[in-house]
Amino acid sequence: MKQNYPKIGIRPIIDGRRGGIRESLEETTMNLAKSAAKLYSETLKYPDGTPIECVIADTTIGGVKEAALCAEKFEKEGVGLTLSVTPCWCYGSETIDMDPLMPKAIWGFNGTERPGAVYLSAALAVHNQKGLPSFGIYGKNVQDVGDGVIPGDVREKLLRFARAGLAVAIMRGKSYLAIGSVSMGIGGSMVNPDFLQEYLGMRAEFVDTSEILRRIQLEIYDKGEFERAMAWTKENCMSREGEDFNPEHLKHSREQKDKDWEFVVKMTLIMRDLMIGNPALDTMGYGEEALGHNAIAGGFQGQRQWTDFLPDGDFSEAVLNSSFDWNGIRKPFTFATEDDHLNGISMLFNQLLTNTPQIFADVRTYWSPEAIERVSGWKPEGLLKDGAIHLINSGSCTLDGTGQQSDENGDPVMKPFWEINEDEVKKMIDATTWYPASLEYMRGGGYSSQFMTRAGMPVTMCRLNLIKGLGPVLQIAEGWTAAFPEEVFDIINKRTDKTWPSTFFVPRLTGKGRFTDVYSVMNYWGANHGAISYGHIGADLITLASALSIPVNMHNVDDGKIFRPDAWSAFGSDNEGADYRACSTYGPLYR
C-alpha cells in the first residue's frame, strides 16, 4: 500500500517593486528555489526509499496575495514543511509562511549585490515577534549573484532542517499502537496520550493483548502468508535454535517448542496487521480488522501477564524491527518491547531521520576497565580502554544490529532497506541464534535472538523521558559499538542472560558535564531503555527536538553543529539554558 508522504514546499521570495527591480530578480530567485528543490530530491528519500518530492510556488512571492496563493497550492499538494529562499531584500511580514504547524526555514543568500541577509534578519524578527519559530540559514562566504552552487555550510543546514521537518510532518496524524498495558511498572510503558497528541500530533491507540489470542483462535490472519512464513522460519530460525539452558524440570518438550514457533509466527503477522492493516483480511470477511490502526510505531506489553501464560514477543519484536522477513527485504517497523512508548518514539525519531532500523536495548551495565580485567584477566585496550556500556534486552533488537551489513570498505553498517542485498540478509541470519526463552523470566516460552554486534559502527543512543512539571526531555549520546575478545565476551555474557543480543557501546567523551567518563553517561541516563541508531545523528536529533519544543538535557554534540530556530538566540547565550527557556515559552506544537 503506497503512502502519500508530505512534500517540501519551496517559497521563492522577491522584492515586490515592479518597474525594474522585481523583473531583474525573477530568474535568479526562481533558480535559487530550483537549486534547493534539486538538492532535496537528489539527496533525501522517504521511508519507502522513493525520492523526496518538492513543490515550488507558481510564481515568486513579492507580497501577501502571492503568499496566500502559494499557501493554497501547498495545501492542495500536501506540503508538510516550507523553505523560503531569497537573494534580495523583500517585504518581511507580507511574505512569510504564517502556518503555525508547518516547520519552516528561510535561506537568505549571502551576496553583496542584493541584501538577502537583510531580508533574512527582518523576516526572522517578524517570525519571532509573532511566535512562529523559523530556522535561519545564511552562508559564511559571500557569493556572486546568480551563483548556482550551494555552499557546504548552507547545504548542511538545508538538509538538517529538511530531515527534521519531514519527521515532524510524517508523524502528524499517525498513531502509536499500544498492545496491552503497563509492563512491570515501567514508566515508559504508561502510554501518555497527551504527550503524543500535543507534542507529536499523534493518536494513542490501545488494543488489549487478548486481541492477539482472539485472532489466533479464530484464524484471523492470512493463512497463505502463514504457511510461507513458517517455511522461512524453519529454514532460517528453527534451524538455528540454540541450546535450552532451562532447568530440566522446566524445559518444554520438542512438541511444545514446535507449537511455540508456530504461535510466535502468528503473533508477528497479527501485530503487523494491527499496526497497518492487511487487505487479505477483508477478503476473509474481516473488514474492520483489515484496516489496522494507522500506526507508525507500536509496542507490546508482554511481561508479565502475557508471558506468564503464553510465548513471549521476542521473535515478533525482533523480526518486525528488522529490514527483512519471509516477504523479503522491506521497510522495518518501529516496535517497542514492554510497550515502552517513550523508547518507541525515540526509535521513531531515529528511524525517520536516517531511514535505518533501530536497536532497542536495556541500558543494563557499565563495565569499567578495572571490572573487565578483574573478571576476565584481560586488560581492555583501544576503544574499550575506558570501559563500555552493555546494551542488552530479550526483545526488540533488530537483526540488522548484528552489524553484518558492510559499506564499500568492508566496515560494518546499518543501511536503509533499499541498499541491503540478499547476501547481507543471509549473514544477519547466520549471525543470529534463537534460544528457547528463559522460563524463569517468561514462563510461557518463546524464543530470543542472540548475537554480539560487530565493533566499529558509529552509533547514537537517545531517549525521551517525561518529567512531571517539565514535560518531555531528550538525551543523546554519540559513540561507537565495541566488541570483546570471544573468550572475554563469553565470561561477561554468562553473568547475565546469555540468550539475548548484546551491543557494547562506548560514548564519545568530551571531558565535561555528563560526558566526563563512560560511567557518567550510564549514571545520568534517564531510564532503563535506550534507542540506538546507526550514525552520529545527534545534531539532527537536536534540530528535530527544537522543532517539537522538546528540550535536550544531555548530549555530546559539538556546539558548532547545533541548529535550532533563530528565536532560541533570544533566550540567552548558553545553549542548554536557552533551549529550556525557548521550549517552555513556545510549548507543545499542537497545544
Residue 109, all three cell numbers: 543568500
Query: What beta strand segments (E) does 356-482 contain?
Result: 359-367, 388-392, 405-406, 412-413, 433-436, 447-450, 458-467, 471-482
Residue 480: is it exposed, middle or buried by C-beta count within 10 angstroms (0-12/13-18/19+)? Answer: middle
Residue 56, all three cell numbers: 515550488
Q: Side chain identity at 285, as an amino acid letter?
A: G
CB 439 within 8 A of CB 430: no
Sign of the alpha-carbon torsion through 271, 272, 276, 280: negative
Q: Side chain identity at 499, as an amino acid letter?
A: T
Would you call 338 a catalytic residue per the annotation?
yes
Q: Which of 338, 400, 566, 579 is catalytic?
A: 338
Phi, psi of 481 (to 5 degrees): -80, 145
Q: Side chain identity at 90, as an amino acid letter?
A: C
Would you call 288 a catalytic residue per the annotation?
no
- Work out whether strand 502-507 and strand 471-482 pair parallel, antiparallel, or are unpaired: antiparallel
- Buried b / exposed e over 227-261, threshold 16 CB at 10 Å, is eebbebbeebbeebebebebeeeeebeeeebeebb
Q: How far is 438 from 256, CA to CA, in rounded Å?
A: 15
Q: Is 543 helix (H, G, I), strand (E, B) or coil?
A: helix
CB 344 within 8 A of CB 301: no
Residue 142, all three cell numbers: 559571500
Any residues with CB less than 8 A from the CB of 2 and at least 6 apart, and which?
48
Q: At what angle do helices 152-171 and 341-354 cross, to 10 degrees?
A: 140
Any residues with CB less than 8 A from the CB of 138 and at least 6 apart, and which?
107, 108, 110, 117, 120, 154
Q: How far is 466 from 546, CA to CA, in rounded Å?
A: 16
Does the N-terminal peptide bond of residue 304 adopt cis geometry, omega within 30 degrees of 0? Answer: yes
- Measured between alpha carbons, how far is residue 490 from residues 375, 495, 497 in Å? 11, 9, 11
Q: Is 81 helix (H, G, I), strand (E, B) or coil?
A: strand
Q: How far is 20 from 24, CA to CA, in rounded Å?
A: 6
Q: How far is 3 from 6, CA to CA, in rounded Å?
A: 10
Q: Which of 66, 289, 362, 540 is catalytic?
A: 362
Any residues with CB less than 8 A from the CB of 409 and at least 6 apart, and which?
none
* Active-site residue list: 338, 362
